[in-house]
Amino acid sequence: DTAVSQTPKYLVTQMGNDKSIKCEQNLGHDTMYWYKQDSKKFLKIMFSYNNKELIINETVPNRFSPKSPDKAHLNLHINSLELGDSAVYFCASEREGGDEQFFGPGTRLTVL
């Protein structure tokens, strides 16, 4: 079974639309993350979330919002998509006090 899964794998949409990317982990981890990898391949943390707190990277626009229906899921909602949002988005998880993050396969978002 895949430890961290994301859907969809590819997402193509128009500017101004609202979209969501789903992430699920079956590892029983407490903390989940979203990262963005841009066209220059730089990987940057966007959010970290556990059942206690949400940490938001200050550079992330408020059009992006993570939503966690339960401990195993952390979905990423994006409103009013812009061209610059085109990137690969990776979800990851880690157990509390752990030493290793597990990453999903990524979602390639293309905004036209």
Partner 1 sequence: DAKTTQPPSMDCAEGRAANLPCNHSTISGNEYVYWYRQIHSQGPQYIIHGLKNNETNEMASLIITEDRKSSTLILPHATLRDTAVYYCIVRPFGGGADGLTFGKGTHLIIQP
Q: List residues binding partner 1 (CB under 8 A).
A: 4, 31, 33, 35, 41-45, 48, 50, 53, 55, 57, 90, 92, 94, 96-106
CB of 40 to partner 1, least distance (A): 9
Question: Is beta strand 10-13 parallel, antiparallel or unpaired with respect to 107-111?
Answer: parallel
Residue with Cβ nearer partner 1 (53 or 70): 53
CB of 109 to partner 1, least distance (A): 14
Token pair 């590819």: residue: 10
Residue with Cβ nearer partner 1 (13 or 57): 57
Which ranges in 1-112 belong to alpha helices (H)?
A: none
CB of 14 to partner 1, least distance (A): 24
CB-count burial class (<10 Å; 0-12, 13-18, 19+) for 73: middle
Contact 101, 32 (CB under 8 A): no
Residue with Cβ nearer partner 1 (15 or 43): 43
CB of 16 to partner 1, least distance (A): 28
Tokens describing residue 95: 């157990």
